[in-house]
């Protein structure tokens, strides 16, 4: 057991004591795309005791360019990212309790996912859920590491409740209007690789108790330009989250449909439709369109629209960003 981590315990920042602390820790990684796969592989290999990976999506060929845990078999098998990540990582390090959960993290379920965590890591592609993580982590006094990447650039910051400024201290809410997404700007692998690596090293420092070494700046990089900039962030005197007002966690900003970054797709959430039987749904949809399914998801094609449905009632409508069309088709074929 010690041998496996010998090169890591030789490093004075970790040592034998740090290794034990890593082994007794529980981390939650929310989002398992390019960032999440880098973070998950780093922390499972490093011997963090319990790693929970939550992702709402399934794997497609265009993910393989940068999502290092997945392969072509995963795409052919129609696996959700959280399940494929769990399977691959259990083969990497059987000493770690790896738990893959297929779910959309929202204001209703987030506290249940992170309650036992020592640390939460951001592997997301959307800002709204990051503000939700910020609220939930501040409320439960759990450190979290923010990270995001797009195009050739990325940002990261460590947030320790009660000590450092939080995400809302420097951005009051997700910006409105047109945002850059992986759809419009694209992304090259090295940008999320670097940000995911920085998030992983922050995780190690926080988990081994090297508080003084934790990065307290907002770090901004551009891998194409080769730039690496630290920004000092201050507590905002009116930050709602730092004053115990958790507006995202209260669901004030929750939405039922979301456009998915990098995918030209819309996700529909239906909290009423939990525990869908995909077998029953397949039988219902077979007469009206083309249906394939496994225990994790059902794929349904009708009138040039492709919809993927998950057992928790969630659906993803492909090849559109039209949220009202998505709601309409969901109501028509799944029922709302
Ligand atoms: Zn704040």
pTM for the whole thing?
A: 0.82
Q: What's the pLDDT at 326?
A: 84
Q: DSSP string covering 132-152, please?
A: HHHHHHHHHT--EEEEEEEBT
Q: What is the pLDDT of residues 243-286, one digit of tens each?
A: 999 998 998 664 467 888 777 899 988 766 667 889 988 988 88
What does the pLDDT read at residue 258?
Answer: 82
CA distance 183 to 125: 11
Residue 287 has a pLDDT of 85
In which element (H, E) is residue 229 found?
Answer: strand 227-231
What Å distances lie between residue 166 and 69, 146, 160, 246, CA to CA? 30, 10, 8, 12
Question: Two tokens at 11?
Answer: 């490093």
User: What per-residue confidence (pLDDT) applies to 2?
Assistant: 52
Ligand 1 midpoint to CA 214 (Å): 18
Do 231 and 217 form a contact (C-beta atoms < 8 A)?
A: yes
At a CB cut-off of 8 Å and minimum separation 6, what does 129 contact? 30, 31, 105, 106
Q: What is the pLDDT of residue 54?
A: 97
Q: How far is the CA of 146 from the centre of ligand 1 (A)?
A: 13
Segments of the chain scoring below 50 in pLDDT: 176-179, 183-184, 254-255
CA of 204 to the centre of ligand 1 (A): 23
Task: Tell me, in angstroms, the distance from the centre of ligand 1 to residue 325's CA.
Answer: 37
Q: How far, in Å, is the centroid of ligand 1 from the Cα of 197?
A: 25
Instruction: Output Rg (C-alpha) for the chain, integer angstroms.
Output: 20
Q: In this predicted model, what pLDDT tens digit does every residue of 16-43 receive, in sequence order?
A: 999 999 999 999 999 999 999 999 999 9
> How many Å lie between the centroid of ligand 1 and the Cα of residue 155?
17
What pLDDT shows up at residue 122? 97
Expressed in angstroms and rounded, the spacing between residue 206 Cα and the centre of ligand 1 is: 19
Q: What is the pLDDT of residue 101?
A: 97
Report the separation in Å between the CA atom of 161 and the middle of ligand 1, taken as the mean of its atom positions. Answer: 9
Task: Give the Å distance between the CA of 105 and the centre of ligand 1.
Answer: 21
**46 Cα–ligand 1 center, Å:** 31
Distance in angstroms (rounded) separating the CA atoms of residues 302 and 304:
6
Distances (CA, A) of 76 to 12, 165, 215, 267: 44, 44, 40, 22
Q: List C-alpha distances in Å: 49 to 22, 197, 225.
A: 6, 19, 37
**Ligand 1 centroid, distance to 234 Cα (angstroms):** 9
Measure 165 CA to ligand 1 centroid, in angstroms.
5
Query: Cα 329 to the chain's mean position, in Å?
Result: 27
């Amino acid at each position: 057991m010690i041998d496996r981590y010998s090169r890591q315990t030789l490093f004075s920042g970790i040592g034998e004591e740090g290794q034990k602390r890593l082994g007794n820790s529980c981390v939650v990684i929310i989002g398992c795309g390019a960032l999440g796969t880098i973070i998950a592989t780093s922390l499972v290999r490093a011997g963090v005791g319990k790693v929970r990976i939550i992702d709402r999506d399934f794997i497609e060929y265009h993910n393989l360019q940068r999502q290092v845990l997945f392969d072509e078999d995963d795409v052919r098998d129609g696996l959700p990212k959280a399940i494929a990540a769990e399977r691959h990582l259990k083969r990497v390090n059987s000493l770690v309790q790896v738990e893959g959960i297929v779910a959309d993290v929202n204001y209703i379920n987030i506290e249940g996912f992170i309650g036992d965590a020592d640390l939460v890591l951001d592997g997301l592609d959307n800002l709204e859920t990051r503000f939700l993580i910020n609220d939930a982590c501040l409320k439960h006094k759990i450190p979290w590491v923010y990270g995001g990447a797009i195009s050739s650039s990325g940002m990261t910051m460590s947030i320790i409740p009660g000590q450092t400024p939080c995400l809302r201290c420097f951005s009051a809410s997700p910006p409105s209007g047109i945002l850059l997404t992986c759809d419009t700007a694209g992304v090259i692998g090295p940008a999320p690789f670097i940000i995911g690596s920085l998030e992983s090293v922050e995780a190690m420092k926080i988990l081994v108790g090297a508080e003084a070494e934790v990065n307290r700046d907002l770090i901004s990089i551009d891998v194409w330009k080769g730039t690496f900039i630290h920004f000092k962030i201050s507590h905002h005197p009116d930050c709602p989250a730092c004053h115990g007002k958790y507006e995202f966690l209260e669901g004030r900003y929750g939405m039922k449909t979301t456009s998915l970054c990098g995918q030209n797709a819309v996700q529909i959430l239906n909290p009423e439709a939990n525990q869908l039987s995909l077998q029953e749904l397949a039988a219902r949809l077979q007469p009206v369109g083309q249906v394939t399914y496994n225990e994790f998801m059902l794929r349904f094609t009708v009138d040039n629209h492709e919809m993927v449905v998950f057992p928790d009632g969630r659906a993803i409508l492909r090849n559109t960003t039209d949220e009202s069309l998505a709601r309409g088709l969901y109501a028509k074929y799944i029922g709302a």
